[in-house]
Amino acid sequence: MHTLLLRSLLALTLLISAVSSADSDPVKSQTQAFIFTAIPDQDESHLQARFNKVADYLQRQLGVEVLYIPVKSYAAAVTAFRNNQVQLAWFGGLSGVQARRLVPGSQAIAQGFEDQFFSSYFIAHRSSGLSKSETLPAAMAGKSFTFGSKGSTSGRLMPEYYIRQQLGDSPDKLFSTVGYSGDHSRTIALVQSGAYQIGAVNYQVWESELAAGKIDTSKVSVIWQTPSYPDYQWTVRGDVNAIWGDDFQARLTTALLQMKDPDLLASFPRSAFVSADNHLYQPIVDTAIAIGLIDPNQ
Amino acid sequence: MNPIPPTFPTASTLISGDTSASAMRRVSLWFAVSALLCLAMADLSIVSADPWGELSLMAAGALSPSVWSWPTLATSLANTFAFALQGVTLGAIGGFALALGYRFTLVRALCAFIRSIHELFWALLFIQIAGLSSLTGLLAIAIPYAGTLAKIYGELFEEVDPAPANNLPGLRRKLSDFFYTVLPLAWQPMATYTSYRFECAIRSSAILGFVGLPTIGFHLETALGEGHYSEAAALFYALLLLIGTLRLWLHKRLLPIYLLAVFIYLPPTADISWQLVMRFITEDIVPVPLRGQGFNGETLTHFGHWLHLLWQQQLWPGLINTALLGQIGMVLSGLLALALLPLNSPLFVKGWKRAGGDSILVLLRTLPEYLLAFIGLLILGPSMLPAIVALGIHNGAIIGHLLGRHTEQIRLRADASRGVSLYFYEVLPRVYRQFLAFLFYRWEVILRETAILGILGIATLGFYIDSAFETFRFDRALLLILASAALNIGVDQFARYLRQRLHLKTTPESL
């Protein structure tokens, strides 16, 4: 018995000392590290190694310590941004909008070149009998359908918007089943295997998997492409200048726009970054409100 | 003193056949019937597709594991172990404290409440105020485990032989009575159970990686999602190895050293800003219509409307789907457990064969349900079926393992029959009481686990809770969590009632 008590006391002591040392310093000093996060829309493995290089680049350009922390989902990225655990994030269209609503004063400062005209593909297994068409085919109704991740712009938001717009009903009423595969690669795998008959996927992920020979086009093919919309962007918190100096946000923007090393850009994967602002993403805000993912009065 | 009336079976109970065995038969029958009814209501369509391309990639990956980075593998394994050990330790301390008051309904309800919330949801809640920190990982395990351990400890205390306590002279001191007459008798099963929970905690800890804590699940989920099956296989084998070899290196006497090591290696810290905590409590979880408004008739109408919509669109369908899936999943788990029990029973397999059988069970229960559901989805298509299969295999393997261990206590006569006859005429009747007790315990766990099967498009309560977190509607998340907690508490109460009714021994050495 006393060994248990001893152990418990020991653990408690350690715990208390650990917790009390943690919250002693809420106001950070000037030497605070600048932290960012990023979830690319494909190839999420080995993020730490790849983005440490981006952190090194930013550190050289900005002259302050820059760290990267990996997160697992759009929601986790937004939460970290909201709680000031990260000050800069590479967000998808929807997660960026959510983040900027939760952190007043934050700004979209740069987007990928490709993100000016992003798009989603609707893909279908051959057993569905659907083929490429000008609009979403009404014959989609009654079939099984999968989105990507619940918070994805290209795998959920825009596809759902066009489903409602063109077929006149919500996905759960139109389709026999509505799944959330959680990931673009998995959406492709599931539709290719016929587990789901139709899916919606980020066009870029489709193109790169196609180029890599992972897709059997006799089994799964693109049936419709959405009109273009703005997607991924860098968003920074509004209070960074107060911590790192008056021109910090401007210098950060320049550093991002001047990132030319293909090795660094490949992590996103984008060919270049171009400037952006919050207003560009108004269509995403309107769409998210239209399908009920965010509340209009927030 | 009144003479105690003799408790012979009366003629009427004998005639009606109302023995405890028949009561167990009846309950089993009702469960089977209810599962069949649920089956009739569930969507079980099978889509015959061509899953073999993806499955052969998975098989190839499983046969050619490759480690991408040894340091990453080592640290994520160490983190998995550290969160688990810290979580169980803190959970055991908290559970012990709660168990002391387990006779109070309020304490029991509190325990049922905290354990009814899935570890992942605890983590998502703490992430809002403590970020992705080691403290979040620790609390996400410690809190639900405290609820579970309190229940087990509490029931062990209730079930110990009352003779020593009854023989104490007058002038009773409750606490010292407890330490001298109850605790020593309950100690051994408590220790066994806690050590079993540690294996569960490693699995829980691994799964916390799914929401971003740096455990092995973080990398495993990514690798599976992107189809890097060789890497996924290596990560999974590492987790299996960790769990499979626990017995070899986690000795009781070394425990203090391991504990010290994990608290030094991964001190539970977090940058908690009270501003965030206040914002979470006073804004985030307050229903939208009530936020920042004075309380008047109009806000009340809005709130009523909000509640009505949430009930209609999420709460009610979520409750139905969760209950349906939970019920069928439980009955399938039970059937599989009975089928799998010989794999880990010394009455049927011995020596290396039993080690092999046990390994199969370890493998089956360590496979994340999420992966089982994905494989099921590929083969069977999207319906409730893959979810039922995933829940059944995972929980069936756990109960089968425990039942197998339970049969160690059975002493057979020298002329006992063998094989199928032994199973049906001797072992099954003798373990059936225990089997039902295990199954009832597992019932609420199964309900909780329905939460993580969103990939199948089954709208359980957990599915809606996850969606609420994804859209930062913590007010909805909280209400849905409360609803699923209420469901779990109801099921827990019902299971407790059944156990008492059937006189099941409510103190499994391990579960």
Flag residues of chain A having pLDDT under 50.
1-6, 8-30
Q: Is A296 inside a domain boundary?
A: no
The pLDDT score that the predictor gives to residue B413 is 84
Does the structure show a pLDDT above 70 at B417? yes
Domain identity same for A72 and A84: yes
At which of A225, A249, A273 does a domain end? A225
Identify the domain containing residue A274 by its residue range. 32-116+230-290
* Structural domain includes residue A26: no
- pLDDT for A48 equals 84
- Please indicate, yes or no, whether residues A158 and A62 belong to a single structural domain of this protein: no
What pLDDT, on a 0 to 100 scale, did the predictor assign at position A160? 95
Q: A143 and A218 share a domain?
A: yes
pLDDT for B234 equals 96
pLDDT of amino acid A10? 46
Of the candidates A51, A67, A65, which has an alpha carbon nearest to the alpha carbon of residue A263? A51
* Partner-chain contact A195 B49, CB within 8 Å: yes
Q: Are strands A120-125 and A220-225 parallel, antiparallel or unpaired?
A: antiparallel
Category of A230 on φ-ψ map: left (φ > 0), alpha (ψ -120 to 50) or beta = beta
The per-residue pLDDT for B388 is: 92
Q: Is B68's CB within 8 Å of A45's CB?
A: yes
Among residues B300, B303, B309, B305, which one has the least CA distance to residue B287? B303
* Mean of pLDDT values over B112-133: 89
CA distance A226 to A123: 11
**Alpha-carbon torsion (B109, B110, B115, B116), positive or negative:** positive
A145 & A182 share domain: yes
Domain boundaries, chain B: 22-64+314-511, 68-284
| Domain boundaries B22-64+314-511, corresponding CATH code | 1.10.3720.10
Residues A82 and A136 grouped into a single domain: no
Give, for B166, the enclosing helix (H) or strand (E): helix B163-166
Domain co-membership, A72 together with A106: yes
- Does residue A269 fall inside a structural domain? yes
- Give the pair of three-digit tokens for residue B191: 């220790």
Same-domain pairing of A123 and A258: no
> For residue range B464-489, what is the model confidence (pLDDT) as tens digits?
998 999 899 999 999 999 998 899 88
Q: Is residue A1 domain-resident?
A: no
Quick one: A219 and A134 in the same domain?
yes
Domain B68-284 is classified in which CATH homologous superfamily? MetI-like (1.10.3720.10)
Q: Is residue A183 part of a domain?
A: yes
Half-sphere exposure for A138 (CA within 13 Å, toward CB) = 1
Mean local confidence (pLDDT), B264-277: 86
User: pLDDT at position B392, please?
Assistant: 94
Task: Select the residue of B225, B259, B377 nearest A10 (Cβ to Cβ).
Answer: B259
pLDDT of residue B48: 65
Task: Say which CATH number the domain at A79 has.
Answer: 3.40.190.10
> Within an 8 Å CB–CB cutoff, is residue B254 touching chain A?
no
8 Å CB contact between A47 and A37 = no
Q: Given an 8 Å threshold on Cβ–Cβ distance, is A22 in contact with B53?
A: no
The string of pLDDT tens digits covering residues A79-92 is 999 999 999 999 99
pLDDT digit string, tens, across residues B187-234: 888 888 898 889 899 999 999 998 889 999 999 988 988 889 999 999
Asked if A73 lies within 8 A of B50 by C-beta distance, the reply is no
Q: Which of B179, B256, B377 sits opposite A195 (nearest CB)?
A: B377
Residue A297, pLDDT score: 67
Give B245-256 pLDDT, tens digit per residue: 988 888 888 899
Number of domains in chain A: 2
What would the two tokens of residue B295 be? 């309380």
Kindly report the nearest CA distance between residue B329 and chain A, in angstroms.
Answer: 20
Longest CA–CA span in chain B (Å) reads: 80
Residue A155 located in a structural domain: yes
Show the tokens assigned to A248.
Answer: 């910090």
Encode pLDDT of B272-289 as tens digits: 878 888 888 888 888 888
Q: What ipTM was reported for this prediction?
A: 0.85
Picking from A136, A153, A151, the residue whose alpha carbon sits closest to that of residue A198 is A136
Tens-place pLDDT, residues B418-453: 888 999 988 998 889 889 888 988 888 898 888 777
Size of interface A-B (CB pairs under 8 A): 183
For chain B, what is the mean pLDDT?
86
* Residue A206 shares a structural domain with residue A246: no
Please tell me the predicted confidence (pLDDT) of residue A66.
96
Which residues of chain B are within 8 Å of residue A92 when distances are taken between CB atoms? none
A236 and A266 share one domain: yes
Report if residue A18 sits inside a domain.
no
How far apart, in whole angstroms, are the C-alpha atoms of residue A251 and residue A247? 6
Alpha-carbon Rg for chain A in angstroms:
22
pLDDT for B468: 92
Q: Are the folds of B22-64+314-511 and B68-284 the same?
A: yes
At residue B142's C-alpha, the angle toward residues B136 and B144, to 5°, is: 105
Q: Are residues A123 and A217 in the same domain?
A: yes
Is position A16 within any domain?
no
Residues A112 and A124 in one domain: no
Give the phi and the psi of residue A234 in degrees, each rounded to 5: -85, 130
Alpha helices (H) along B367-456? 369-380, 384-406, 419-421, 428-449
Q: How far apart are CA B128 and CA B473, in angstroms?
A: 12
Of A167, A149, A155, the closest CA to residue A121 belongs to A155
Contact list, B289 vs chain A (CB under 8 Å): none
Average pLDDT over residues B125-154: 93
Which of A14, A26, A183 has its CB closest to that of B225? A183
Collapsing DSSP to helix, strand or coil, B298 comes out as: helix
A19/B210 Cβ within 8 A: no
Taking contacts as CB-CB distances below 8 angstroms, the residues of chain A near B43 are 177
User: Would you say how long chain B is, in residues?
Assistant: 511
Interface test with B, best of A10, A13, A186, A284 (most B CBs within 10 A): A186
Chain A residue with the nearest C-alpha to that of B259: A11
B437 alpha carbon, distance to own chain's centre: 14
User: For B388-402, how does the pLDDT look when each residue is reduced to its tens digit (9 = 90+)?
Assistant: 999 999 999 999 998
pLDDT digits (tens, 9 = 90+) for B44-55: 877 767 888 889
What share of chain B has pLDDT > 70, as a percent?
93
Q: Which residues of A touch B93 (CB under 8 A)?
A: 8, 11-12
- Cross-chain residue pair A295–B218, CB shorter than 8 Å: no
pLDDT at res. B412: 86
pLDDT band at residue B90 using 50, 70 and 90 as cut-offs: very high
Amino acid at B479: L
The whole-number pLDDT of residue B408 equals 86
DSSP code for A74: H
Do residue B470 and residue A26 have CB atoms under 8 angstroms apart?
no
Given A205, A225, A245, the domain boundary residue is A225
Return d(Cα A245, Cα A251) in angstroms, integer.
10
